[in-house]
Chains A and B, each alone.
Chain A
C-alpha cells in the first residue's frame, strides 16, 4: 500500500472515528458537573474507614486494589520484556566504548554537569523517599515516588559515572528488588484473605489519621510498589545504557 493510499484511507476512517467520538462525548455529563455515587461515597467515608487522607491512594491500594495487582504485573512483564529483548544476541559482543565507536565519541562530561548532578542525587533520593512514605497522606505514593527515586541512577549516568555502576554488577540486585516488590505485593494481598476478610483486605491496625503510620496496609503497598518501580525503571535505563555504550555487532 503506497503512503498516499494509506493516508487517504486514514482520512476517511479518521473523519468517521472523530465523528463517532464527538457524538459519544456529547452524551457525557456537562463538563465539571460529574456526579458519581461511588465517588461521593469514597470522598465522605474513605478517611474514616481507612484512616488515609489521600483518597486516591486508598482507592489504588485498597478499594480497587485488585486492579492494581493486575497493573503491577503489567509493569513487571513489560520490564521483563525489555530485558529479554535487549539481552546479548549471538552475533554481538561486549566492547569497550572507547576503542571502536570513534564516530560516536563525544566530549567528556563537563565538571559543572558532573558536580551538579552528583550534588542532586542526595536531595532527589530524599524527595523520592518522602513521596513514597507519605503516599497515604498527601499526593504521592509508590508509583510516583519510585519514578523520582529512579531519577537518581539517571543522574549518576549523566555525571559520566556509568562504568562505576557497571562494575558493581547491579543487575542481580535490581532483579531481586523488582521481584521482591511484585512478590511482596502479592503476598500482602493474599495475607488479606488469610487474616482479613478477602484478598487485598486491609488487615493491619489503621493508626492515627494524618500520621505517617496510618492507613493499615497502604504504606506497606506503597513501599513495595516504590521498590518495584525504582528497580524496574533503573533496570530499563541500565539496559538501554548497555546497548548504547557496550553492545556491538560485527
Chain B
C-alpha cells in the first residue's frame, strides 16, 4: 500500500476537479476546476518518473551518472503546462462571449440553444 499511496493524490485531484465541473454554477469556476483535473495528470506523470533519492536530470554541477529522475515525463509536463495555460485563456474567452450574449455565466441558465 505504501508504495502506491502517493498515486492516490492524482486520483483524488482528478475526482475533486470533476466534482467541481459537474456542480459548477459559474463558467470561470468551471474552468478552474478543469485546470485542477489537468493538474492531476501532471502529478501522476511526474510521480511515474520519480526515483527515490535521485536528483533532477540536469548535469550542470553534478557528474553524469548521478542517479536522476526520468527526464521524458518532465518534458511532457513542461509543454503541457504552457499549453494548459493558453487553452484556459481560450475557454475564458468563450465564457466572456457567452456572458455577452446571454448576460449570465451560469451553465444551468444556458440550457436552451439559441440558433
A interface with B by C-beta (< 8 Å): 3, 6-7, 10, 14, 17-18, 21-22, 25-26, 28-36, 38-39, 42-44, 46-48, 53-60, 64, 67-68, 71, 74-75, 78-79, 81-82, 85-86, 89, 137-139, 141, 143-144, 146-147, 210, 229, 232-233, 236, 239-240, 243, 249
Contacts and interface: CB of A to CB of B under 8 A. Distances in A.
B110 interface: no
Given A21-B11, A59-B72, 13 more contacts: A21-B15, A32-B3, A32-B53, A46-B71, A54-B57, A56-B58, A75-B82, A82-B90, A85-B97, A138-B58, A139-B58, A143-B78, A143-B79
Contacts of B75: 56-57, 59-60, 64
Interface string B28-64: 0000000000000000100111111100111110001
Contacts of A25: 4, 7-8, 10-11, 44
Interface centre among B15, B23, B65, B90 (most CB of A within 10 A): B90
A243 to B, nearest CB: 6
Interface of A is mostly: helix
Contact of A34 (B22, B49, B60, B78): B49
Interface of B: 3-8, 10-11, 14-15, 18-19, 22-23, 44, 47-53, 56-60, 64-65, 68-72, 74-75, 78-79, 81-83, 85-87, 89-90, 92-94, 96-97, 100, 108
A43 B51 CA distance: 13
A236 B86 contact: yes
B4 A28 contact: yes
A249 B100 contact: yes
Contacts of A82: 86, 89-90, 93
Contact of A243 (B44, B47, B96): B96
B60 A236 contact: no
A239 B93 contact: yes
A33 B51 contact: yes
Contacts, number: 170
A57 B53 CA distance: 22
A38 B71 CA distance: 9
5 contacts: A3-B108, A17-B18, A42-B72, A86-B96, A233-B85
B90 A78 contact: yes
Contacts of A6: 22
A218 to B, nearest CB: 12
B93 A32 contact: no
Nearest to B94: A85
B83 A71 contact: yes
Contact of A44 (B3, B64, B85, B100): B64
Given A75-B82, A82-B93, A34 B70 contact: yes
Contacts of B86: 74-75, 78-79, 82, 232-233, 236
B15 A75 contact: no
A75 B87 CA distance: 8
Interface centre among A25, A85, A139 (most CB of B within 10 A): A25
Contacts of A46: 71
Nearest to B62: A53
Contact of B23 (A7, A54, A229): A7
B76 to A, nearest CB: 8
